[in-house]
Structure 1
């Protein structure tokens, strides 16, 4: 029996559950203070060290990040509290990284060799593909729990059952999410073992696009787009080197939609990478993204504002895809593949044969069995599917929205989905 289809009749005017109402009533009582000095002091207290390895613009980036959150006046105190925890956590992780690099300078000479990198829009099969590639036991990937706390806190070792406390914290957070916003699993389930995007660790340098997914921050988008990402991708590589040092193997599987508009910095940082591009009808990407955002906003915001979501994310997806079309040639043709979403389901092993051949890596029978095991255990729609109603919830037809993406359809093998 298949999982249920989710349909939202209250997406843009939510009817909160008792649990959701109680959470908001409890958290709205206190104004969350985002003072940078106070957050930095908390990070220092937690990490037990005080060297942020701050480059010239580091505190400017932190100020821009926090300033963007402050400028979004529609946020509930619940999400302001979550974002405050995020800033403290990022600062603490950065402190721990600096300390580790001081103790083990050899980390920075660890090669990140021949990574596989999945590049594509959110909701275009990137998560499916990167989790599948991560089933190859010869490769290292970034599970969600580790993306949130890449470096252990001094003095916090495994518990009596041998479980890392960072994993336990991620699991507790996920369990709470399943209670407060259960439909999240059908849209994008971030359970502790799920493979996460490395832009989460790029955020230790306060230089990624991640904040756009948490709040309405067009100012941060513009600031981020003005940064020299080659430098920041270099920092991200340093974090990957540290993670490799702590727990091998050293051959990575990476993925992020952000790379679509940063192919130059990506290839400068990982020149021997083999890249798998996933392509999907941008309408499917946008409707999936804004439905997920609107659902999450019932706890994050005082009002949903579907028109804002449509306008912002249609523009954002267009920018990402224009970056991909512009810079696709920067990735060598003999070390990259373009995968249409319509080819992904059911043809994965053929696609992986091609990808491994281009990388010059043997696809052994053992690895092939691991891939098949993953596919058998993770059918599409495992957690349920979502019925997307673009016209009803966002007041635009798929064809209207699709018309702004002719440049993308002309360049890649993409099929329109739905009408």
Structure 2
């Protein structure tokens, strides 16, 4: 795909399916997926070879609420129901395997997670680009997508005779299937197996992440998630990071997740010596980008697109997230944080990256600086095709009408209107 190619989204909200997409749906829709929680847990136990869920903090209740939320969305096709069914089993299996690992190696919980660098910001605000850039520093431990999806190997599970981890192979196969079914995803947010992703998937081993909102229409889960005491769930996240450090080292992590923007208290309580980079972008551009990506994916996930619902839900969701971020920004010490406007992430990242490292008290040797610049040069926006985002055309909303809700955010940070 040429870097300058503009992709066609004329059918975004009234999709015209390809032959491949129709064949996929014809096959998957004929196979109904049921969410029998006991059967799903039993399958996870069978895969893990262990049966202790460490349910001393209400995990079973959170798991049940998660499944109820999925079932409450009656507009899902069987394709995404099958994916979510497998995801729940995978999360439970990983939790079981973590408990089993900690029983055998209790010293894991003494491993320090020292002075992490953490990227925080809205979805679609450059967090993925920035964390992948920092991950070019070979001194840093990062979380590739394949590992975020399946972090803890099951007992006895290891690389095959060719040295390929079966967890990597599974995620690679899933990515290839995704590219075949919805190829424009690569230009929106390409989660190829080696790409550095976010630890919200690790939080969902504890059923305490907001990520389900990206897969299904689950306002009930949003409210349930926001009502949790996330201090204990971030402590669980640290435990998973300790296990990953034990399994594959080292312990100087670079992390990122938009979820952190509304959980700054728990984040800093868990990682008090962290240095945090906040990315900031026009919320209207964020919403436009997010709901365009959602609408495109929904052609296979849902029975209908419903653009008005996407505007209303994600406009509100981003407002909630930013309100919490503005409220709690001062919980992160100024001397160990930077605020980075999206306009600084278009090829001129080195100055802000240098400042971030200075705040962290870390040097950038010439070899590392060279790696940073090579990544910047090779990952310009639009390199996998340009998406014709158009809030007015596709969703019938005037940008200024939506932007008026976010004056509090523009007043607080260096944010420039984009559309």
SS in 1 for 2:277: strand
Helix, strand or coil for the counterpart of 1:254? Answer: strand
Q: CA deviation at 1:30?
A: 2.1
Cα RMSD for the two superposed structures: 0.9
How far is the alpha carbon of 1:284 from its aligned partner? 0.5
CA distance in 1, matches of 2:344, 2:122: 16
SS at match of 2:278: strand
Given that 1:47 and 1:95 are in contact with CA atoms closer than 8 Å, whether structure 2 keeps it comes out as yes
Alpha carbons 2:94, 2:151 under 8 Å: kept:
yes
Compute the displacement of 1:259 (Å): 0.6
| Aligned twin of 2:147 | 146
| CA deviation vs aligned residue, 1:176-217 (integer Å, no higher than 9, x gap) | 001000000000000001111101010000011010000000
What are the Cα deviations for residues 236-286 of structure 1, in whole angstroms up to 9, with x where unaligned?
110000000001110000001111110000000000000000000001000
Q: Distance in 2 between matches of 1:76 and 1:257?
A: 27
Aligned twin of 2:377: 376
Is 2:115–2:273's contact at 8 Å kept on the other side of the alignment? yes
Residue correspondence of structure 1 range 17-416 to structure 2 within 5 A? 17-416=18-417
Paired residue secondary structure (1:408): helix
Query: Gaps spanning 5+ residues in structure 2: where?
Result: none
What is the TM-score when the length of structure 2 is the normalising length?
Answer: 0.98
Q: Secondary structure at the match of 2:313?
A: helix
Q: Which range is displaced more, 386-395 or 81-90? A: 386-395
Deviation per residue, 1:31-70 (Å, 9 max, x gap): 2110110000000000011011112311110010000000
8 Å CA contact retained: 2:109, 2:242: yes
Residue 114 (structure 1) shift: 0.4
Deviations 1:355-391 (A, max 9, x none): 1111111111121111112112222221111011111
Say which SS state the counterpart of residue 345 (structure 1) adopts. coil
**How much does 1:349 deviate?**
1.1
Is the Cα contact below 8 Å between 2:347 and 2:377 reproduced in 1? no
Q: How many residues align?
A: 418
Cα deviation for residue 345 of structure 1 reads 1.7
Q: TM-score, normalised by structure 1?
A: 0.98
- Using the TM superposition, give the Cα deviation of residue 332 of structure 1 relative to its aligned residue in structure 2, in angstroms: 0.1
Residue 416 of structure 1: SS of its match in structure 2? coil
What pairs up with 1:4-23 in 2 under 5 angstroms? 4-23=5-24
Decide whether the 8 Å contact of 2:346 with 2:380 is kept in 1.
Answer: no
Question: Matched residues in 2 for 1:132 and 1:324: separation?
Answer: 23
Unaligned runs of 5+ in 1: none
The residue matched to 1:74 in structure 2 has which SS?
A: coil
Match of 1:2 in 2: 3
| Bigger shift: residues 108-117 or 50-59 | 50-59
Structure 2: how far apart are the matches of 1:414 and 1:376?
24
Which stretch has the larger CA shift, 305-314 or 151-160?
Answer: 151-160
Range that drifts further, 252-261 or 337-346: 337-346
Cα distance in structure 2, aligned partners of 1:165 and 1:56? 31
Q: Does the CA contact (< 8 Å) of 1:7 and 1:388 recur in 2?
A: no
Moved more, 160-169 or 77-86: 160-169
